[in-house]
Chains A and B, each alone.
Chain A
Amino acid sequence: MSEKKETLVLGIGNYLMGDEGVGVHAIEVLLKENFPENVHLIDGGTGGFHLLSFFHDYDPLILIDATMDEEPVGTVRLIEPRFASDFPRTLSAHDIGLRDLIETAILSAPLPKIYLIVISIREIRSMVMDLSPEIAQTIPAIVQMVKKIVEKK
């Protein structure tokens, strides 16, 4: 393993649940972009504990996930969380949410630098695989945000 860890962009979410899957949709778009070789893109889906190794193998980690918070729908925010409690509750129906994952990852090793891009959604729509128009239009902003983080690092 090389001394300097490489960058991972990890999209999380359930694409069977409409806007909740925005993280996975964003990865699909990002895969068409040109990134340096040391930037990896993974569709984390509803991976739960299967995602744990990513928190130890990469640094920094750019996470993309949906949230239902008090912000207007379609808000894209960049959070740089330091503690598990800084993470919003994730929405995915994967039983092991992002916060659970972070809390667990902290136990075995220091966390890498994490950039968390959260997209505020209105509702989870079951059995819908497309994004709603107001969330679909956030994708370019997410892509820009990822590019900016990758460039400045």
Chain B
Amino acid sequence: MRFVFKTSYEQDINLFRHGGDRFWYGLLLLALAAAPLLLDTFYLGELSFILIYAIAATGLMLLVGYTGLVSLGHAAFLGIGAYANAYFISQGMPFLVSFPLAGLITAAAGLLIGVPTLRMSGIYLAIATLAFAYIVEQVFIRWESVTGGFRGLPVDAPDIFGYQLWERWEFYYLCLVVLVAVILGVANLLRSPTGRAFVAIRDSEISAQSMGINLARYKAMAFALSAFITGLAGALYGHHISYLAPDAFDIRLSIILLLMVVVGGVGSLHGAVYGAIFAGALPQVIAILRDYLPPAISQTPGLEPALFGVILVFFILFEPFGIYGRWLKIKLYFQMFPLYKKATFKRQKSYLKTERLR
């Protein structure tokens, strides 16, 4: 076990707690940077896809994992970002302008649903976001002059100062840069007063308020930021699939995004990334498994959602802290060996946790 001897407050503020952290994250970044040399085009594409998922999951994690606001409609934000970006590019706008603009428009949409729902909590918010997502999906279908309706909307390759990123590896680097920027930004935010305000709202609204936190303002901010990041992910997602159709952004995608948050581990940025890797890699694993399964099972179209469902149920029942929680437990087990006790992570159950006034 490593004991960090702290000699200044800076050490608690810094993103990396000690040299070891810096080394491992550096190595990871190096490996990701070298990936285009090692992987073929197909797997590089899949890896870009995971990076995009990770951006979206980070956005959703900020809202669900850190502010405690549940959104069942994040696919709508992904869609708004994708359509906005694609539309601007089709109008001849350069990517470097359309990309942040897509994020801003999505943030505005986030405020549009976030502000009226500020006073709602828990389940009402979840249902409201679900309804919002359905309405947005209908807008994608009906607003044909912008979205192309069911005919779809082709998305051009992104260009940077006139140079078009046609190659898979070029696009991969773009996704990597955006992901790293987003994660750093969110990590910075979380060690600042705003991030602490989010966590405070998540854990106890009433005492957050008595500590001087304006609930309405911070919740709206969380919604806007989360939507902004998800919108950026959506813009990249659009480039990745290169052809937008309304049914790409239905409730199933919202649930997959939430699945990443739950499976990865609610309330940690590591979790968002683990969740994205998981959700991004699962279809590949299924595709490989299909070859070994009897055709009666492998030909069933519902196999993928079924597996998602099973995994979701499994994690909530047996590992509510997600992959990241499991990783922490394993790490602690080896650090404390042979003194590890299971009760360290035991949660207190409250049988009468209630939102009602009695």
> Does A pair with B?
no
